[in-house]
């Protein structure tokens, strides 16, 4: 974990098993799903293959990592859409910071 500023941190997350088709499904076309998650949660997500880095507050990083794991599990049996990502985001129990 790296401290970027006073309350912004970066944490690494490895999604396994490595499956390029599932990773592509998770990220969306041109990383659209990742940008959607970033916009909704106020975090920054970068990835190289199955190695993800999430930047934000500790609380939002934890929420984002849990969400990415959950959605990655879904990609085993489903093809994701922007609407599906939206439903996952709306199901989160978070308070505004």
Distances (CA, A) of 43 to 12, 13, 19, 28: 13, 14, 24, 17
Question: Span 27-31, mean pLDDT?
Answer: 97
3-state secondary structure of 76: coil
pLDDT of residue 97 exceeding 50: no
Q: What is the CA radius of gyration of the chain?
A: 13
Q: Which domains does the chain have, with CATH numbers?
A: 2-90 (3.30.1370.10)
The pTM assigned to this predicted structure is 0.88
Per-residue model confidence as pLDDT tens digits over 44-80: 999 999 999 999 999 999 999 999 999 999 999 999 9
């Amino acid at each position: 974990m790296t401290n970027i500023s006073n309350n912004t941190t970066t944490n690494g997350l490895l999604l396994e098993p490595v499956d390029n088709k599932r990773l592509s499904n998770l990220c969306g076309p041109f990383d659209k799903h990742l940008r959607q998650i970033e916009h909704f949660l106020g975090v920054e997500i970068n990835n190289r293959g199955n190695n993800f880095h999430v930047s934000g507050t500790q609380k939002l990083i934890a929420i984002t990592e849990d969400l990415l794991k959950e959605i990655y599990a879904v990609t085993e049996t489903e093809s994701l859409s922007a609407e599906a990502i939206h439903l996952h985001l709306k199901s989160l129990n978070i308070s505004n910071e």
